[in-house]
Structure 1
Amino acid sequence: MAGHRVTPAGHDTAADSSAEVISELRRRIREHWEGFSPAARSVCRALSERSAEQLVFVSAAELGAETKTSNATVVRTVQALGYSGLAELKAKLAAPIAGSSRLEQRTRRRVESTGGDLEEVWGTVLAESEERLDHLRRTFAPERYEHAVRLLLEADRTVTYGFGALTMAAEHLCQKLARMGVGSRYIRSGGFGLADDLLGIESGDVVVAFAPSRLTTDVEVLLDRTRAVGVASILLTEDVGSQVAEEATVALHAPTTPTGLTSEPLIGMVIADVLAQCVAVADVERTVGSSHRLTTLREQLGYA
């Protein structure tokens, strides 16, 4: 994603980019205004009156309450404006202001956005989780998932890798597959030590990588290695049209969080569960047999 950058003349290109997204939003509102209901117009007013950073942290529930409409009206209005949902709009707004030079400012805004009330924090975090899952649901591409599952079923072994916090999702998928009796290996290393793990990728493997939309060196070398060995790769990333996604055999959309209010690996874990369940259903006897052996081992260890 684009970072925050200030030119030598002191010109803030991140602010410009955010302004462009806001201008585009307001242009769409003007174009659709005549055809909108009073409720949709109320939502549009609330959207157009906010700054980019305010919109990034607002939820559909908050907009619904403010406009005396509903979550569903907010979502329908945003979709009518040409976005897949509020999450997509927020992601577009957050991308230009995601640079490290604004980290302190964004952290403060994230903490202050929920206030100090437990119920408000609870509601805000759940609302963002629901928005991300809703975004995932609306961008579901069956043909991509079918391709990914086919690659998993045809492979001798699945190798999983996660960049940064996404390592949790990679480890989760590896563990679920192993418990089904599917050959799997989780790459734990990064940086210098990653070379040893990449060396272990062999013909017959399929690599599942959980990665950001920007092309990092680790992910780039990982995908280069899959091509050199001649193995398929499944990439879970925010932008399936990005350069890094084009390097993979198949890319699955994994919406991230522009606010940091919810865990980055949340969607990766959900997709991992979907993929694992598809593999389990493809060979029920193997899955049940492996589950039985796992239970027996746990009992022998005293965990009845």
Structure 2
Amino acid sequence: MTPEQLLYRSAVELGAETRTSNATVVRTLQTLGYAGLAELKTAIARPFTDQTPPEVRARSRVEATKGDLPNVWEMVTTEWADRIKLMRDGFSVEAYQRAVELMLSAREIVPFGFAASFVVAEHLTFKLRRLGRRARTIRSSGFGLPDDLLGIERGDVVIAFDPGRLLVDVDVLLDRVRTVGAGCVLVTAELADQLKDAVDVVLIAPHSPTGLTGDAATAMVVADALIQGVAASDVETTVEYSHTLNTLRQQMGF
């Protein structure tokens, strides 16, 4: 079995192929220093992604499902569960608490994300406004990005969703954050070591090792945890804005 083929195998399948069990597979991986199969797949995935053309990866992914829709469902939901477990295993309560504290004290919270991560950033902004927090999403990139960066000031906190590509947009964003003395929380899969000294907090949202599940999925979980952390830390404001929102809806006839 090649490393690429391993990406699409479950612990149950590996147990069957080795005539052992899924529990034996997991224990063996732990003996080798991995938390579990999800961590091993993450380690394998990056070289495969870097060295293999996208169309070859797409063929491998589709062929791994064997054209069997129940199997597709099983593979996708299993990977989802594995990614969540991997994120839980690596969770840092100190980093999470620090991120929530920064958001609570912010003049304005500024979520930023590109491509699929923009959806997560927009979701975070939407929910924070419902909690009575001043928030705006940076929607632009390229030539239009500097206009949005002008609005970042001391006392603001940027929540940067960047799974693994260090684009010039992110470099310029972080430089602006440092220049004005704003705070920054980075939500990433791969850039923790590279950017840890440029931000205040790093929260890990693991990649999909196969492409079967969206890379922004775990970032959305982190965003929801940040939202609920802010809500739980300021109950009165949360309740007040919930009441105000409901009153406005009633005035609209809803």
> Fold match, TM over 0.5?
yes
1:297 aligns with 2:245: no
CA distance in 2, matches of 1:66, 1:128: 19
1:32 corresponds to: none
Question: What displacement does 1:192 show?
Answer: 1.2
2:169 corresponds to: 218
3-state DSSP class of the match of 1:188? Answer: coil
Higher-Rg structure is 1
- 1:260 pairs, out of 211, 215, 227, with 211
1:161, 1:188 within 8 Å by CA — same for their partners in 2? yes
Q: One-letter code of the match for 1:270?
A: V
TM-score by length of 2: 0.93
3-state DSSP class of the match of 2:66? Answer: coil
CA distance in 1, matches of 2:68, 2:141: 39
Which sits farther off after the overlay, 258-267 or 87-96? 87-96
Question: What displacement does 1:195 show?
Answer: 1.2
Question: What displacement does 1:258 show?
Answer: 1.9
Question: What displacement does 1:64 show?
Answer: 3.6
2:163, 2:191 within 8 Å by CA — same for their partners in 1? no
Question: What displacement does 1:217 show?
Answer: 0.8
2:45 corresponds to: 94
Q: One-letter code of the match for 1:202?
A: E
Question: What displacement does 1:212 show?
Answer: 2.5
1:159, 1:184 within 8 Å by CA — same for their partners in 2? yes
2:163, 2:215 within 8 Å by CA — same for their partners in 1? no
CA distance in 1, matches of 2:230, 2:21: 39
2:99, 2:201 within 8 Å by CA — same for their partners in 1? yes
1:231 aligns with 2:178: no
TM-score by length of 1: 0.79
Unaligned runs of 5+ in 2: none
- 1:160 pairs, out of 111, 114, 136, with 111
2:120 corresponds to: 169
User: CA, structure 1 residues 297+217, in 2 after alignment: closer, same or farther (shift >3 Å)?
Assistant: same
1:110 aligns with 2:56: no
Question: What displacement does 1:107 show?
Answer: 0.6
Identity of aligned residues (%): 53
Question: What displacement does 1:197 show?
Answer: 0.9
CA distance in 2, matches of 1:72, 1:210: 35
CA distance in 1, matches of 2:142, 2:237: 36
User: CA, structure 1 residues 63+295, in 2 after alignment: closer, same or farther (shift >3 Å)?
Assistant: farther
CA distance in 2, matches of 1:284, 1:206: 21
- 2:26 pairs, out of 26, 50, 75, with 75
Question: What displacement does 1:170 show?
Answer: 1.1
3-state DSSP class of the match of 1:298? Answer: helix
2:35 corresponds to: 84
CA distance in 2, matches of 1:120, 1:173: 33
Which structure has the higher relative contact order (CA within 8 Å, separation 6+)? 2
1:136, 1:253 within 8 Å by CA — same for their partners in 2? yes
- 1:209 pairs, out of 160, 164, 171, with 160
Question: What displacement does 1:180 show?
Answer: 0.8
1:9 corresponds to: none
1:123 corresponds to: 74
User: CA, structure 1 residues 111+246, in 2 after alignment: closer, same or farther (shift >3 Å)?
Assistant: farther
Which sits farther off after the overlay, 54-63 or 108-117? 54-63
The aligned length equals 254
2:207, 2:215 within 8 Å by CA — same for their partners in 1? yes
- 1:139 pairs, out of 82, 90, 115, with 90
Q: One-letter code of the match for 1:263?
A: G
The CA RMSD over aligned residues, in Å, is: 1.8
CA distance in 2, matches of 1:157, 1:283: 16
Question: What displacement does 1:132 show?
Answer: 0.3
